[in-house]
Each structure stands twice: as structure tokens, then as C-alpha cells.
Amino acid sequence: MGKSIEDRLNDELEIKDGIIEELKDKIDNLEIMTDIDKIWWMRHSVFDDCELSQEMEVPRLEMRLERDGVSFRNNDSWYSRIYTTGLVYRHFKDAGINNKLLFIPLDKTTTKGGKSKSFKDIWADGDPELPFSDGSHIVANSITLNLPAYIVCYEKNIFAKINYNINEDINLSIVEQMKRKI
């Protein structure tokens, strides 16, 4: 004799429970992917009318230095920092009308601690501190893409061109530095 109605219903319930679990996993994955707190840095952004951004070459690679929210306990605390590296280019819309500078993020890293307690520690003597891995990546990308690379802190209104010598150690030196309150 075949299965009873109860057994067939239990089999169907097991199949449906498996489908429900798969759908729950897919929903969880979608929620993680759309969690804006985790992917905020990946959004493309249009520059506001920022004089500082106009002083650098376009197109370029740009490493943005900013404080992590944890750092704001002290007015000049830069203990926790975010470095976001991206491509800056001029987007021409309508044949030259409404051309805008766009920032397309490529990579992000956070740094906590080190000798950097204040901004002057990070940008000591006009020689900005780069994160180890992403600092190497921006130099390699600059060479590969044949684009200039800059480190920029919009909060402090300052930038530095990242220079490199392929035959020597990577050297970060200032070509142009905006002399404003640091």
C-alpha cells in the first residue's frame, strides 16, 4: 500500500521547510549586501564646488583621508582613520555642459592607532602617512594606469601628490601642499 495522507503531507512540509530556509538565507544575503553602513564608501559621488579638488590634475587617483566616527571624542583625534582610494574624472554630459567631477571608489581601509594621535602626527613635516597595503596599491595603480596619485584630506583642506621612484623605495613627497590651518 502507498503512503498515508499524513506521511505525504509531512513529506511536502519537509520540502517546503527546505525552500523556506533557502529563501531566508537569500533574504539575509540581500540584507547584508544592501546594508548601507557597510557599503556607503562604494557609492559614486559628484564633487561639490570644491576649490581644492580643482587644483589637482584630472583624471587622477585619489586617496581620501578622513576620521572614523570613533575619533571625534577629541577635537583633533585622528586615532581611527579611513582611507578611501578612488578614480576622479570629469564626466561630460551634454557635450561640455554640466561637466562634473566624479569620484569612483576602488578600495577602502581603516587604520587605528600607531603614532598618529593628531592630524599633525599624520601629516608631519608635509610628509603624509599612507596605510601600508593601500599605499602600495595606489602607487602600483598609478604606474599601471599612468595617472597621477594624490592623498587628500578635505576636512583639513590639504593634499599632496604621491611620487614614486620605481628603482628606489616608494617615497611620498609633497609637490603641492595647501598651506591652511592644520
Where are the chain's structural domains?
A: 5-34, 42-162
Amino acid at 43: R
pTM of the model: 0.66
More confident residue, 82 or 69: 82
Give percent of the chain with pLDDT exceeding 70: 71
Q: How many CB atoms lie within 10 A of CB 114?
A: 13
Nearest residue to 102 via CA among 82, 88, 121: 88
Q: Is the pLDDT of residue 180 over 60?
A: no
Query: What's the mean pLDDT in 167-182?
Result: 40
Contacts of 155 (CB under 8 A, 6+ apart): 66, 67
Residue-level pLDDT at 62 = 93
Beta bridge partner(s), residue 129 = none
